[in-house]
Amino acid sequence: MSQLSSAPSTNIKVCVRVRPLNVEQPSQPDPDLRTNVTSIECWNLKNNVIAPNPDYDSYDYQNSTSEKSKKTAYGFDHLFFPVSKTVEIYNMAVKSIVAAALEGYHGSVFAYGQTATGKTFTMQGTADEPGIVPLAVHDCFSYIRQRNGMSKDREFLLRMSYMEIYNEQINDLLSPSSLQTIRIYESRGKGVVVKGMKEEVVISAEQVFALVAAGEAHRHIGSTEMNANSSRSHTIFRLVIESKAMNTNSKSKVRVSTLSLVDLAGSESVKSTHTSGERQKEGKFINKSLLTLGKVIWKLSEGSRKNLSIADLAAHIPYRDSKLTRLLQPSLGGNAQISMICNVSPEAVHVEETHNTLKFASRAKRIKQRASVTEVMDDATLLQQYREEINALRSQLTVLVEENQSIQTQLMSPGGGRGMGGGEDEEETQAIVAAIHNLERLILRNADEKRTGRSGGVGGSGRKVRVTSGGFFGSNRMSSGGGGKHPFFERVSSGGSEGGGGSFGLVKSDGGKGDKAAVNGASSSPPFLVPPTQPLGGTPNDGPSEAMNDMSVLSTRLSGVSVRSGTPESFSSSYLDSHSLVNELQRVQGLLGAVLEKKNNKRLSMGGDGGTIGTPSKFSGAPPPPPTPTLLKPSLHFSSKEEEIKHLRTSVSQLELNRKLAKADATFLSQQLSDKDDMLNEVAMLLEAVERHQEALERENAELAEALSRTQGRLGQVEVELMQVRGGGGGEEMGTEEGGGGGGGGEEFEMY
Ligand SMILES: Nc1ncnc2c1ncn2[C@@H]1O[C@H](COP(=O)(O)OP(=O)(O)OP(=O)(O)O)[C@@H](O)[C@H]1O
């Protein structure tokens, strides 16, 4: 693995979005709020600064807010007023991260804030106002179609996963019924690895939306007094992006990056949400993990302030204290471009929560990151595997075509049995062509306009397109709100799936027809608009023709390939545990093997010359075609029947031997595979033990550090007291953790 280029060290980009007071009837005192100044309840918003409104005179506010809070102002990279649209936030704070992710830099976007402040509204959006996730997904695909920037003349393979952390348990939203347990472990060289998460190879924005919509049906949502559709879990949508230069040899380096879009559950107090029972339990888990995230952010910001190196810092950051921070460790750990969108409510009743969010945001703003492009030269990248398989299939095709031609020539020659078997040959050849085509269509290219569709990106000038509705969110098992929480994805989902367990066209193989329908969004349900400007309407990659699709199961099974992977949160190179892919390829190869065998037999019966038939690919699950039994060769002459029978027997036993060898090979290989699995399990167990040990050591360390800092604090106090006793007084105020300082531009506010 090599780090190609490193971006300069930058601070996390932090912006704050103030939600409207009343979303049903948004009325604002000032029509031009975006760049102007306004007061909303107890807050003054001015450009990128949010400060308490000294004139706000409610009794509750005056009595419930500390004097210090009333005088603390906060400044950010961007402050979005209640009238701001999500697309503005996207353009300002997220778009560049998406572009960088496609160029090889890891990127993460978080929505953070108190419950009901609009995190999900921001991340997912509605049909009228698409959120960060749909906007980013659209941009990804349109970026690939464009022919400029660092991605010029590159080919891409994208795959997505969708997960939630609910009550400290990671759930795979793409495969909710899977028995596979998801494990996070840290491995040397690979960093934090999530094992067992399903990943779907994706080729269009619509496919991603359909998958997310399917995942939404399984997300935990519940009603609280503050939010009828409150997320009870943190959700992480992630795209893994592999890309490599086109037209270079197949072993060229592959860039691997990830784009993580995180919708955190909201912090909540039992007092305001009035939860009890299950909701209260969920709330505790949410608050606990957010507290750990707060600690991690605080320590990271302190580390950046003191200019500590990432390695020095890593040992002292309590990533392991929650699944959330563990999963986010690679993003927060330095090698990613990050945007944090902090959502707040302007209501006076939530003023203290808003202060807490703003403090969190201010700390996050101090964290420095240095992202770099990761390039790997590795067979484990899916892109590399696909390319090699395509090459192997192409070689087989060439051989097959040559074989066909020679058979045809013989058939056409006088006495050659004209017209026999032509249709079958054609069918077989096309089966391989379709298999190649199906693999090819999973690889997206930016230099092939015809293949990848038309241009136009989010916020750009392309035409709007319609996809179908047909939602199934009413069946969300946790939703108490009837209509579900996420109207955008609800609407883009095509082909409803009641009860959450049905098929979603794109992911399930249904002979290719589900694929096509879902990608095209074709259905008779009423249409609606998806995020602006994405010109879809058809498959971005023109898939194989219907005729080809129908010809053979070969051609359909490879689309929508799922990979269950030990995916790298650390974006490492050798993480693919792509059993399903390999199985699929083995199956295809098996079928091709059978095709070749059939062809061989046909040729034998015609008296062909028994030449080589293709090189089996490395995934070949079928034994190589049997050697041509020489007894049938016209050149052989036997002096007697006995001699012929003897020869026949030898040939039969030779064939039997070949079969046994092939079987032994297969057994040997599968034994090796299972040994490897056992070994991996053992290593995983060992790693877990080491991890536990490390955790214990870290806890011990943390306790010692705390004791040390208490002692130092006490020492400081003693020194101050000593100075006071001596009459020196010190004069200076002791700094708090927040540090004060700054003096808010001559006003009576202190900038946090
Ligand atoms: N900027 C906004 N404009 C219009 N409506 C908004 C805005 N922000 C939030 N809302 C509305 O407020 C309600 C609560 O928003 P949302 O569910 O997104 O909050 P949340 O922060 O995700 O809450 P939780 O943490 O409980 O899941 C929703 O009905 C949403 O549509």
Predicted confidence (pLDDT) per residue in 418-436, tens digit: 444 455 566 767 777 887 8
Q: pLDDT tens-digit profile of 89-112?
A: 999 999 999 999 998 899 999 999
DSSP 8-state code for residue 577: -
Measured between alpha carbons, how far is 495 from 486 in angstroms, rounded to an integer? 17
- Say if residue 115 carries a ligand binding annotation: yes
Q: Which of 15, 23, 126, 473 to mutate to test the pocket of ligand 1 (most atoms within 8 A of CB)?
A: 23
Cβ neighbours of residue 29 under 8 Å, at least 6 residues apart? 38, 39, 40
Question: From the CA of 117, how far away is ligand 1's center (Å)?
Answer: 5
Q: Which of 120, 293, 324 to mutate to test the pocket of ligand 1 (most atoms within 8 A of CB)?
A: 120
Q: Evaluate if residue 677 carries a pLDDT over 60.
A: yes
Lowest mean pLDDT among 181-190, 420-429, 608-617: 608-617
What's the pLDDT band for 88 if we cut at 50, 70, 90? very high
Averaged confidence pLDDT in the chain = 69
Question: From the CA of 120, how far away is ligand 1's center (Å)?
Answer: 6
DSSP three-state, residue 549: helix
Give the mean model confidence (pLDDT) for residues 595-611: 51
Measured between alpha carbons, how far is 422 from 132 in angstroms, rounded to an integer? 54
Lowest mean pLDDT among 440-449, 564-573, 584-593, 635-644: 564-573
Question: From the CA of 87, how far away is ligand 1's center (Å)?
Answer: 16
- Say if residue 484 carries a ligand binding annotation: no
Question: From the CA of 491, how far away is ligand 1's center (Å)?
Answer: 18
Give Cα separations from 245 to 5, 95, 444 (angstroms). 16, 23, 12
Question: From the CA of 415, how far away is ligand 1's center (Å)?
Answer: 79
Give the mean model confidence (pLDDT) for residues 298-308: 79
> Using an 8 Å Cβ cutoff, are 698 and 318 in contact?
yes
DSSP three-state, residue 651: helix
- Say if residue 516 carries a ligand binding annotation: no
Output the pLDDT for position 164.
Answer: 93
Q: Which residue has the higher pLDDT, 601 or 576?
A: 601
Question: From the CA of 129, how far away is ligand 1's center (Å)?
Answer: 12
Residue whose token pair is 């784009």: 259
Stretch (H or E) spanning 579? helix 579-606
Output the pLDDT for position 420.
Answer: 47
Q: Whose CA is nearest to atom 4 of ligand 1?
A: 23
Atom of ligand 1 nearest to the CA of 266: 25
- Say if residue 126 carries a ligand binding annotation: no
Measured between alpha carbons, how far is 512 from 508 in angstroms, rounded to an integer? 9
Q: Whose CA is nearest to atom 12 of ligand 1?
A: 118
Lowest mean pLDDT among 26-40, 65-79, 137-151: 26-40
In this prediction, what percent of the chain has a pLDDT beyond 70?
Answer: 61
> Using an 8 Å Cβ cutoff, are 360 and 295 in contact?
no
Tokens read off for 717: 């106090």
> Using an 8 Å Cβ cutoff, are 330 and 570 in contact?
yes
Q: pLDDT tens-digit profile of 280-292?
A: 888 888 888 898 9
Question: From the CA of 125, how far away is ligand 1's center (Å)?
Answer: 9
Q: Whose CA is nearest to atom 8 of ligand 1?
A: 118
Strand partners, 527: 468
Q: How far is CA 673 from the centre of its chain?
A: 28
Measured between alpha carbons, how far is 94 from 736 in angstroms, rounded to an integer? 33
What's the pLDDT band for 56 if we cut at 50, 70, 90? confident
Return the C-alpha torsion angle 678, 682, 685, 691, nearest 10.
-130
Output the pLDDT for position 179.
Answer: 66
Question: From the CA of 206, how far away is ligand 1's center (Å)?
Answer: 24
Atom of ligand 1 nearest to the CA of 124: 18
Q: Whose CA is nearest to atom 31 of ligand 1?
A: 121
Q: Which residue has the higher pLDDT, 179 or 430?
A: 430
Tokens read off for 238: 């992630």
- Say if residue 114 carries a ligand binding annotation: yes
Output the pLDDT for position 338.
Answer: 92
Output the pLDDT for position 272.
Answer: 63
Q: Where are the alpha helices (DSSP H) in 347-503?
A: 351-365, 382-412, 422-442, 449-452, 487-492
> Using an 8 Å Cβ cutoff, are 118 and 82 in contact?
no
Measured between alpha carbons, how far is 121 from 410 in angstroms, rounded to an integer? 69
Strand partners, 195: 183, 566
What's the one-letter identity of residue 703? Answer: E
Q: Evaluate if residue 574 carries a pLDDT over 60.
A: no
Q: Which residue has the higher pLDDT, 614 or 49?
A: 49
Tokens read off for 125: 């959006």
Cβ neighbours of residue 293 under 8 Å, at least 6 residues apart? 264, 322, 324, 325, 328
What's the pLDDT band for 484 if we cut at 50, 70, 90? very low
Q: What is the CA radius of gyration of the chain?
A: 31
Question: From the CA of 42, how far away is ligand 1's center (Å)?
Answer: 20
Lowest mean pLDDT among 160-174, 323-337, 404-418, 727-741: 727-741
Atom of ligand 1 nearest to the CA of 343: 21
- Say if residue 120 carries a ligand binding annotation: yes
Q: Are strands 234-245 and 154-166 parallel, antiparallel or unpaired?
A: antiparallel
Measured between alpha carbons, how far is 90 from 138 in angstroms, rounded to an integer? 12
Q: Evaluate if residue 724 carries a pLDDT over 60.
A: yes
The b-or-e profile of 271-295 (16+ CB within 10 A means b, else e) is: ebbebeeebeebbebbbebbebbbb
Lowest mean pLDDT among 376-385, 716-725, 729-738: 729-738
Give the mean model confidence (pLDDT) for residues 466-484: 34
Q: pLDDT tens-digit profile of 242-272?
A: 988 876 665 678 888 999 999 999 887 766 6
Q: Work out whether the CA dihedral 102, 444, 530, 125 comes out positive or negative.
A: negative
> Using an 8 Å Cβ cutoff, are 119 and 264 in contact?
yes
Atom of ligand 1 nearest to the CA of 82: 1
> Using an 8 Å Cβ cutoff, are 519 and 207 in contact?
yes
Stretch (H or E) spanning 329? helix 323-332
> Using an 8 Å Cβ cutoff, are 165 and 282 in contact?
no
Q: Whose CA is nearest to atom 23 of ligand 1?
A: 116
- Please calculate the CA angle 407-412-417 and round it to the nearest 5 degrees: 80
Lowest mean pLDDT among 297-311, 455-469, 617-631, 686-700: 455-469
Of the segments 374-383, 414-423, 464-473, 521-530, which one has the largest average pLDDT value?
374-383
Q: Which of 227, 233, 353, 473 to mutate to test the pocket of ligand 1 (most atoms within 8 A of CB)?
A: 227
- Say if residue 86 carries a ligand binding annotation: no
What's the pLDDT band for 237 if we cut at 50, 70, 90? very high
Measured between alpha carbons, how far is 122 from 87 in angstroms, rounded to an integer? 9
The b-or-e profile of 561-579 (16+ CB within 10 A means b, else e) is: bbbbbbbbbbbbbbbbbbe
Q: Evaluate if residue 585 carries a pLDDT over 70.
A: no
Output the pLDDT for position 739.
Answer: 35
Question: From the CA of 234, how far away is ligand 1's center (Å)?
Answer: 15
Q: Whose CA is nearest to atom 16 of ligand 1?
A: 118
Q: Are strands 13-18 and 37-40 parallel, antiparallel or unpaired?
A: unpaired
Specify burial of residue 651 (Cβ count, 10 A radius: 0-12, 13-18, 19+). Answer: middle
DSSP three-state, residue 479: coil
Lowest mean pLDDT among 385-399, 539-553, 624-638: 539-553
Q: Whose CA is nearest to atom 2 of ligand 1?
A: 19
> Using an 8 Å Cβ cutoff, are 379 and 575 in contact?
no
> Using an 8 Å Cβ cutoff, are 24 and 2 in contact?
no
What lines the ligand 1 site, CB under 6 Å? 19-20, 23, 113, 115-121, 227, 229-231, 265-266, 343
What's the one-letter identity of residue 68? Answer: K
Output the pLDDT for position 113.
Answer: 93
Q: What's the N-to-C CA distance of the chain in angstroms?
A: 41
What's the pLDDT band for 545 if we cut at 50, 70, 90? very low
Q: Whose CA is nearest to atom 1 of ligand 1?
A: 19
Question: From the CA of 482, how far away is ligand 1's center (Å)?
Answer: 16
Tokens read off for 391: 């090459």
